[in-house]
Every structure is written in structure tokens, then in C-alpha cells.
Amino acid sequence: MAQLTEDKLDLAPKKFNMWIFIFTSFMFFAALSSGFIVYSGGTGHGINAKMPQAFILSTIIILVSSGTMYMASKAAKGLQFDKQRLYLWLTIGLGVAFFFSQLYSWYVLVSKMGIYFSNPNASQSFIYVFTGMHLLHIIAGLLLLANTLYRSYRNTPQVKNLYNMQMSSIFWHFIDIIWIYLYVFLLLNQY
């Protein structure tokens, strides 16, 4: 029992650090949004482009991944380690699918819509900045999920297994929420 309490106390500062990172990431995306609003307000126009349909697919994928992450956490709490691993694998697969759907969206922006990162209309460049910064967070989330999955295959004490699941879940749901915010923000500023 003493070891369990000691493990929980050792993990508390790490959880606090995760919340600090999430807060700073939130502020980063808020700053990007503010920068876009200031720029587009000064020019009097939005992005002047319709968002690629692939963004809808990305949104569906990330919403489903949120569900699989929830199921992985629930399985871990219920000591159903095979289900936990299965849902973690599914979440990672969906995260990779999201990543490639975003790359496909960039392909559509360039090849079919003629919207490049270095564009005279800098507001269109914000599409790449928003989605690119989000993709960096997706990569971090995938690494965190892979670490949690790896540790679930090892003989990890349950308190640490639950901690890993909780940290991964907090971060994954955060980047899901950020994507929904970014997508809605971009939709509202299409024209």
C-alpha cells in the first residue's frame, strides 16, 4: 500500500506538467487565431477559399479516435488489458489516418485549389500554419500513445498503467478538441 501511495505522489508533478503543456498549447492556438483575426481584419477579407472536403473526413476520424481512446481507458480501469491494447492500436491507427488525411488536404489545397503556403494572400497561409502546428501535436500524441501501448505489454504496475492511460487520454482528447476548434474557425473564416 505504501508503494502505491508513493507511486501516486511521484506521478502528480508529471500530471501537472501535462496540464501546463496543454494550457500553453491552448494559448499558442489562441495566439494564432488572434493573429489571423488581426491580419484579416486589416485586409478586410477572410481566407477567400473553401475548405477542402478532406477536412470533414479528418474530423470524423478524430472524433472516432476519441471514442476508441475512451474505450481504451475504460478497459484499463476494468483490468481488461487485451481490450485496452486493441483500442490503443485502433486509436493509433486512426491518428495515423488523420495525419494522412491532413497531408491529402494539403495536396488538394495545392494541386486543385492553387493555395500555397507562400501566397500573396497571407490569410490563406494560415491554413497551413494552423494545420501544421496541429499535426505536430498529433505526432506528439501518437508518440505518447505508442509509449502507453508499449508499456501496457510490459509488466507495468496498474497504478502506472492507469497513469499512462490518463496522460495519453488527456492529451489525445485535447488535440481532438483543438482540431474541432480549428476546423470550425477555418469554416467560419472561409470568405
Q: Of the CATH numbers 2.60.40.420, 1.20.120.80, 3.50.50.60, 3.40.50.20, which one belongs to the domain with range 48-188?
A: 1.20.120.80
How high is the pLDDT of residue 42? 61
| Torsion on CA atoms 154, 160, 165, 167, rounded to nearest 10 | -130
Q: What are the distances in angstroms from CA 31 to CA 26, 79, 98, 148, 162?
A: 9, 41, 24, 31, 33
Q: What is the mean pLDDT of each run of 10 residues along the chain (191 residues)?
A: 53 83 93 88 73 93 97 95 96 97 94 82 85 95 96 87 92 96 90 76
- The pLDDT value recorded for residue 88 is 97
Q: What residues contact 43, with CB distance under 8 A and at least 6 apart?
A: 123
**Cβ atoms < 10 Å from Cβ of 50:** 10
- Which pLDDT score is estimated for 151? 92
The confidence score (pLDDT) of residue 99 equals 96
For the chain, the structural domain boundaries read 48-188
